[in-house]
Structure 1
Amino acid sequence: MNLWAAALGFVGAVLGSWGGQLIVTRREDRRWEREREREDLRWKREQVREELRLRQTEAQRLSEQRITNYGEIIVLLQKWDHALLICQKLSMGTESLEAFNSEQLYELERDGQALLGVLQTHGNEDVVSSALDAYFAFLDANERARAVIAKLSDPELNLEGMAKLSNSLILAIDAAESGMSQTIVDARKEVEALMKIDN
C-alpha cells in the first residue's frame, strides 16, 4: 500500500502540476487574446484618426489651391480687361498704335489656357463655366482687335470698314467684359464659401 500511495501521490503531483500549468496556460492565452484584440482596436482607431487627418489636410490643401487659382483668375481677368481697354481706345482713335502690344495679347491667351487647365481640375463648376465663357469671348475680342490693328496700319484706311470693325470690336469687348464680370462674381462667391469652410 505504501508503494501505491507513493505512486498515487506521484501521479497526483504530476497531474496537479500539469493541470495547474494547463489552467495557467489557458488563462495566459485568454489574456493575450484580449490584449491583442485591444491592440487591434487601438490600431484601427489610430488608423481611422490618421485617415481623417489626411482627408482634412487634403481638403484644406485643395481649398487653399482653389483660393489661389481663383485669385489668379481674377488677376488674369483684370489684365484681360486692361488689354481690351487699350484695344477699344485704339479702335476709337484715342490711343496711339504704339500702346498696342500684340505679344501681350498672345501671352494673356497662353496664361488663360494654362490657368483654365488648372481651374478645370480643381475649380467649382460655375466658376469654370463662366471662366470658359469669358476666355472664349476674350479670344473673339482679341481676334477682332487684331483685325482693327491691321486695318489701322493700312495706308488706304476705309472709314466705313473701320467703323464696322470698331463696332464689332466694341461688342466683342462688351461680351468679354460681361463674361469676366460673371467669372469674378462666381470666383468671389466660391472663395467666400471656401473661407467659411476653412474657419
Structure 2
Amino acid sequence: MTDADDEFGLRPLRPDDSFSSMKPGGERFNPLKIFARKNARRYEEENLARTYVIHDRPNNRIAAYVTLVCSEVVSGENLPLVNGENLHFPYDTYPAVKIARLLVDDRYRGENSRGLGRILVNFAQGIARAEICPAVGCRFVVVDSKQESIGFYERCGFTMVDTHENRSRTEPVMYLDLHKAS
C-alpha cells in the first residue's frame, strides 16, 4: 500500500476510529470486532499492543485491521521451528512478533478482495524486520490461526507447528521464520 493509493490508507489506530460498521463475516469472527471496539484503544494506551488499520477513504470506514504484540515461541523437540538449524540460542524460547488479531471486513473479501489481509501480514513482517529485529532481535512472526484461516496463513508463508496437540487446537499456532521468508 502506497501513499499514492487514493482508495485505501494504512496507518496506526487513532482515538476517533470507529469499528462499529465493520462486518466480521460470521459468528466466529465476532470476537475480533468486539476486541477492536472495546479493547484496542485501551491496549494502545497501556502499551500492551499496537493496532494498525486499513481505512477505506471513499466509504469512510475501516476495511481491515491488525493488532501486533511481542511474543515468544517455545523451543524443543516437539516444536521443530528451525528445521534442524542450530541457532546456538541459550534460551528456551525464541523472540517473536505475534499477529494477535487480524480482521478484514466481509465486504472486502471474496470477489471484492483487494488483498488487504495479505497487506497486513506483510506489514507485520515489515515491522518485525525493519523495527524490531534491528533494535532487540526477533526471529519469528506467529499467529494463533482460526481453523478457517489456516489456508490464508499458509499462502502467506506460515507453517503450522507440527504437533498433535497443536493441530487439534481450535486456533493452532503457525509461524513464519523471518530469515527464510521472502
> Per the shorter chain, which TM-score range?
under 0.3
Higher helix fraction (1 or 2): 1
Higher strand fraction (1 or 2): 2
Rg comparison, structure with higher value: 1
TM-score with structure 1 setting the length: 0.25
TM-score with structure 2 setting the length: 0.26
